[in-house]
Amino acid sequence: MSMRVGILTGGGDCPGLNAVIRAVAKSLMSQHDATVIGFEEGFLGLIERRSVELDWRACSGILNRGGTILGTHNRANPMSYFGAGGADVSDDVAAYYHELGLDGVVVLGGDGTMSICHDLSQRGMRFIGVPKTIDNDLMNTDRTFGFDTAVSVATDALDRLQTTGQSHSRIMILETMGRYTGWLALHAGIAGGADLILIPEIPYDIDEIVRVCADRESRQRFTIIVVAEGAKPRGGDMVVRELIEGSPDPMRLGGVSGVLRLALESRLDSEIRTTVLGHVQRGGSPTPFDRVFASNLGAYAASLVASDTWGRMVALKDNHLTSVPLEQVAHQTRYVPRDSTLVATALAVGASFGDPDLDLPLAALGDSVKYE
C-alpha cells in the first residue's frame, strides 16, 4: 500500500509556501507513489473535514506564486476552537485524521503552528514541520523561509524612503513586522543603511533617539529609522493594536511608529513621516533565495516522511539541513541576542539602537564569529 500523506499551511501567509507544497508533493508522488491530501485553510480544514487530493498538475506552475494554494487560517487551534466557543476539538480532528488513513501530515508554519503539532502528537497523530515565518523567530533553525523575501521588501522600502527623506530633509520612520523579535528590522536596517534600528530585544531611550536625529539635522539633514512593531521604550510596553480571542497568538502589535513620531515632533526641527509596511511584507512572489530554500526544505521533509521519521521539524543549522524534535521548537521564541554579530556590525557602521549604553566592538566577539 502506498503512503497517504497530508499537508497543510498554518498561521499567516508567507512567500514560499507554494514552493514547499510543490516540493513535498512532487517528491512524494514521483519517488514514492504517495497519495497527498491537502487540507484547506490550515488546521481549519482538519477541524471542518475539508480536504482535497493533490495531483501533479495542482502542484505545477506554483513555484513563483505568493500565498498558498491550500489557504490558511491563523485562529484555527483544535485545542481551543473559536467556532466551538473555545472548546477542545482535538479528538474529532484525530478521528478525521485516522479515517483518512494518513501516515502523517507535513505542516508548514511558525511557532504557533509547531506548538499545535506538538500538542496534537499526544493524541496519536504524526507530523513533520517545515519552518515558515517572515519573522525568522523559530527556535533551533538558523533561518525560516519567507524571511528573505520580507527583508527584501523592507529594504526596498527603506531605499525609497531615503530618497524622499534626503529631498525634504525629513525624518522617515519605517515600521516593520516581527512581533516580539527584531530579526526583520535588523536585517533590513543594515541592508537599507538605517541610522536608527529599534528592536524589541534592546529597549530604546527616547533621549538617545533625539540626540542622534538632532546631530543628523546639523550634518546630513535627514534620518532613516526602522522600528520593529514590538519595539518599546525603557521601562515601557509594546504598542498593542488589538486582541483577537481564540487565536494561538491573540495580541496584535502595531502603531509604534506613530507613538515614536509623537514623542519626537516637539523636540526636533525636522518634519517626521511614518510608513507602516504591514502585510505588504507577507505578499507577493518569493525571492529566488526563498524559492530555492523552500524547495530544499520541502524535499528534505519528504525524505523524512519516506523514512518514516515523524515528530520533527526540518531545520537549517550551520548551513546543513537537519531536523529537530518538535518539542524543541514548540512554545518557544528565538530572540536577537544583544551580543549578536548583526548588532555589532550595525554599530560598527554607525547605526544606533537607541541605547546610549550599548557598545559591542566586533573584535570583542573573537576571531571567529557566527554569520547571521
Rounded to an integer, what distance in angstroms lies between the CA atom of residue 185 and that of residue 228?
5
Residue 135 catalytic? yes
Q: Which DSSP string do the residues of 282-330 spell out, in sequence order? A: T-SPPPHHHHHHHHHHHHHHHHHHHTT--SEEEEEETTEEEEEEGGGTT
Task: Kindly state the cell numbers that stand for 141.
Answer: 533553525
Of 13, 111, 119, 135, the active-site residue reads 135
CA-based nearest residue to 232, from 263, 277, 194, 268? 263
How many C-beta neighbours within 10 Å does residue 167 have? 9
CA-based nearest residue to 142, from 354, 4, 297? 297
Collapsing DSSP to helix, strand or coil, 61 comes out as coil
φ/ψ (deg, to 5) at 298: -65, -45
φ/ψ (deg, to 5) at 13: -70, 165
Q: In what order do the strands lie in the sheet with 127-131?
A: 51-54, 35-39, 4-9, 104-109, 127-131, 312-317, 320-325
* CA separation, residue 148 to residues 31, 293, 294 (Å): 30, 10, 11
Rounded to an integer, what distance in angstroms lies between the CA atom of residue 371 and that of residue 318?
9
Residues annotated as catalytic are 135
